[in-house]
Chain A
Amino acid sequence: MTRVRVTAPQSAGRRPAGLPPGASPGRDAALDSDAGRLYVRSLIRSQLRLAIVVAVGFLLVLAACGLMVALVPDLAVLRLLGIPLNWLLLGAGLYPVIGLAAWLYNRSAARNEARYRELVDER
């Protein structure tokens, strides 16, 4: 494990242009041209769209589970391995859904970033 010395954050508030120190050089270069600015905007937009799609998808699954437990009383009667189905659904069944959503998001977000890099490199 390599160790990196970082500076004290006491310079906060007295920095020029409000940007914290320690950013990798070259990332601001994306703003040098109209095309660069366009690429950054489209990257941000695609990442936001992705985040919203995954969030809404997950919330729909959550709402469906909530409605099912509320509207299908039989779930409390049916049992799997001695545990009522409604407990199983809310107590254990939602976690794999959360993990799956996170994994899909990570893959797509990394792909968006790779696409951005390709665009920048083509210039």
Chain B
Amino acid sequence: MNPPVGLAAFLLVVVATAAVGFYGLRISRTTGDFYVASRTVPPWWNASAIGGEYLSAASFLGVAGLILLSGTDALWFPVGYTAGYLMLLLFVAAPLRRSGAYTIPDFTEARLESTAVRRVTSLVVVAVGWLYIVPQLHGAGLTIRISTGLPSWVGAVAVVLVVYLSVAAGGMRSITFVQAFQYWLKLTALAVPVVFVLLHQGGGAALPAPEAVNPTGVPAAGPYQTVSLLVALLFGTLGLPHVLVRFYTNPDGHSARRTTLIVLGLLSVFYLFPTAAGLLGRMYAPGLARDGRSDALVLLLPGELVGGPAGDVLSALVVAGAFAAFLSTTSGLVVSLAGVISQDLLGGSVRGFRIGALLAAVVPLAFALVTDSLGLAGSVGLVFAFTASTICPVLLLGIWWRGLSDAGAIAGMLTGAVLCGGAMVAGTLFGGVSAPGWLAQPAAWTVPSAFTVMVLVSLATKQRIPGTVARVMTRLHVPERPLAGGR
């Protein structure tokens, strides 16, 4: 790729993001603006912002790369990422909005009347956020290396710097502007090159069969792996902290549902393009998979298949979209982590929020600089498994089951965290690829274990069920405004 073109694309996205962030500084003045913007963002705008925040390095680069590597097995990733929002819609969207809480720890504390539950939830949320930021920074490193030839750390440091500055300046409100813009940027940046390459390649001789090409000889995933992956993706989405905080910017439960429906549409349209890019890569550029550049497939595809000035322009567009992905997901995570850290440790002031944002961004940066990427879609998939084993059970049971007790919630979350965290560490020690299936994809056994422990301990500690449970459950499920003429 042409280094000056890549650098220009990167700088353009950085400047645009910073500009919108600083613009947000002028209009966000209250502490509430910092945490959740105002609660009156229109559904389309909000849905674009949710889509923008959700589509991370894993979606923009990782999905196509994984499809290049393992073919149809990898198609379950985009399906799972999207279907996770269906589960979120079915089980948490409206009740969580109606709870009136700002963050997941706020919710669990209010529901279970316990600051101990709050502390454990906060720890888990911070762990999830940190784990999720690391692959974004790996993606940034990869992209800057491929597109400009600069060392990887430049990309990671640049993303953290831009995110920190814009978050500390504008908080959540400016982020909403940025995220909504970045969904459409990401869609354009992937759709235009993919369609161009399709037109360029299409109409020729018969297409080579994607199945006949197996660039690296990756063995097909067994049924256990696929099921476990889907468990992680379906039930991990509804516990992601940066996704949940977005639902508080809906005016009421009904609009939270409508927003989610729009999000599903936006994600479905988006995922057609990484899928198509992966298919194109498998048919026409299988060589990219061999030297470990599979995650860079969408970056390299225009240059490989189109070439010339047109290839340069398309490459620049993809680089811009990729940085939009790293910046938007990272800033969403940093905002929600900063909210949690500052409320629990620093008293919830605007200054505390800025210190929280610094902690939220710098710790994963250090981690990203000393580790190597093991495939973006895979490492994000593991974070989903961790969320599904910890936050998902406490949210689902908290919203739908009166019998949940604080002791049960804590025991369940710790069980999920220890089992899933242990599997992740053990899997890494095995060297990633050679880890046995049940360690590489732990969700199928860690999620049921967490649920079981949470239910059993709650049943054994019935006397600890808070007296306010009836009122809180009413608050969660009863629609907000009775229709005109009611009462």
Rounded to whole Å, the gap between the CB of B253 and the closest CB of chain A is: 8
Contact of A91 with B475 in the complex, beta carbons under 8 Å: no
Known: A21-B100, A90-B76. A7 touches B32 (CB 8 A): yes
- Is B436 positioned at the interface, with any CB of A under 8 Å from its CB? no
Of B15-23, B124-132, B153-161, B263-271, the segment with at least 4 beta carbons within 8 Å of chain A is B263-271
Using Cβ atoms and an 8 Å threshold, which residues of chain A touch B254? 110, 113
A82 to B102, CA, bound (A): 49
Using Cβ atoms and an 8 Å threshold, which residues of chain B touch A15? 110
What residue in chain A is nearest B113 (Cβ atoms)?
Answer: A18
- Is B300 positioned at the interface, with any CB of A under 8 Å from its CB? no
Contact of A55 with B87 in the complex, beta carbons under 8 Å: yes
Contact of A47 with B477 in the complex, beta carbons under 8 Å: yes
Contact of B31 with A70 in the complex, beta carbons under 8 Å: no
A75 to B272, CA, bound (A): 19
A113 to B255, CA, bound (A): 13
Rounded to whole Å, the gap between the CB of A35 and the closest CB of chain B is: 14
What residue in chain A is nearest B118 (Cβ atoms)?
Answer: A13
Using Cβ atoms and an 8 Å threshold, which residues of chain A touch B105? 12
Using Cβ atoms and an 8 Å threshold, which residues of chain B touch A2? 40
Known: A31-B474, A40-B477, A84-B210. A55 touches B101 (CB 8 A): no
A3 to B29, CA, bound (A): 12
What residue in chain A is nearest B106 (Cβ atoms)?
Answer: A12
- Is B147 positioned at the interface, with any CB of A under 8 Å from its CB? no
Using Cβ atoms and an 8 Å threshold, which residues of chain B touch A114? 483
Q: Mark A82-108, 1 if CB is under 8 A from B, else 0.
A: 111011001110111011011101100
- Is B487 positioned at the interface, with any CB of A under 8 Å from its CB? yes
Using Cβ atoms and an 8 Å threshold, which residues of chain B touch A76? 72, 209, 211
Contact of B40 with A3 in the complex, beta carbons under 8 Å: yes
What residue in chain A is nearest B258 (Cβ atoms)?
Answer: A106
A43 to B400, CA, bound (A): 11
A113 to B349, CA, bound (A): 38
CB within 8 Å of B: which A1-15 residues: 1-10, 12-13, 15
A58 to B89, CA, bound (A): 13
Contact of A6 with B257 in the complex, beta carbons under 8 Å: no
Q: Mark B408-439, 1 if CB is under 8 A from A, else 0.
A: 00000000000000000000000000000000
B interface, over-half SS = helix
CB within 8 Å of A: which B360-412 residues: 400
What residue in chain A is nearest B95 (Cβ atoms)?
Answer: A47
A5 to B35, CA, bound (A): 12
Contact of B468 with A17 in the complex, beta carbons under 8 Å: yes
Known: A9-B348, A10-B343. A28 touches B265 (CB 8 A): no
Contact of A102 with B264 in the complex, beta carbons under 8 Å: yes
- Is B103 positioned at the interface, with any CB of A under 8 Å from its CB? yes
Using Cβ atoms and an 8 Å threshold, which residues of chain A touch B180? none
- Is B456 positioned at the interface, with any CB of A under 8 Å from its CB? no
A98 to B271, CA, bound (A): 13
- Is B292 positioned at the interface, with any CB of A under 8 Å from its CB? no
Rounded to whole Å, the gap between the CB of A93 and the closest CB of chain B is: 10
Contact of A23 with B118 in the complex, beta carbons under 8 Å: no
- Is B472 positioned at the interface, with any CB of A under 8 Å from its CB? yes
Rounded to whole Å, the gap between the CB of A58 and the closest CB of chain B is: 6
Using Cβ atoms and an 8 Å threshold, which residues of chain B touch A24? 480-481
Using Cβ atoms and an 8 Å threshold, which residues of chain B touch A26? 482, 487
Contact of B478 with A30 in the complex, beta carbons under 8 Å: yes
Partner of B466, one of A1, A18, A44: A18
Contact of B474 with A117 in the complex, beta carbons under 8 Å: no
A82 to B284, CA, bound (A): 14
Rounded to whole Å, the gap between the CB of B91 and the closest CB of chain A is: 5
Known: A92-B272, A102-B86. A117 touches B211 (CB 8 A): no
A11 to B41, CA, bound (A): 24
Contact of B348 with A8 in the complex, beta carbons under 8 Å: yes
Using Cβ atoms and an 8 Å threshold, which residues of chain A touch B162? none
- A and B contact pairs by CB, cutoff 8 A, 12 listed: A3-B40, A7-B31, A8-B31, A9-B102, A17-B471, A18-B111, A18-B468, A26-B482, A66-B76, A95-B82, A96-B268, A102-B261
Going nearest first, the 4 A-B pairs with the smallest beta carbon separation are A10-B348, A6-B32, A95-B268, A8-B31
Extra 18 A-B pairs, beta carbons < 8 Å, given A5-B38, A19-B110, A27-B478: A1-B40, A2-B40, A4-B40, A5-B30, A18-B111, A19-B471, A21-B100, A27-B475, A40-B478, A51-B90, A55-B90, A62-B83, A82-B206, A83-B279, A98-B83, A98-B86, A102-B85, A120-B487
List chain A positions with a Cβ less than 8 A from chain B: 1-10, 12-13, 15, 17-24, 26-28, 30-31, 37, 40, 43-44, 47-48, 51, 54-55, 58, 62, 66, 69-70, 76, 82-84, 86-87, 90-92, 94-96, 98-99, 101-103, 105-106, 109-110, 113-114, 116-117, 120-121
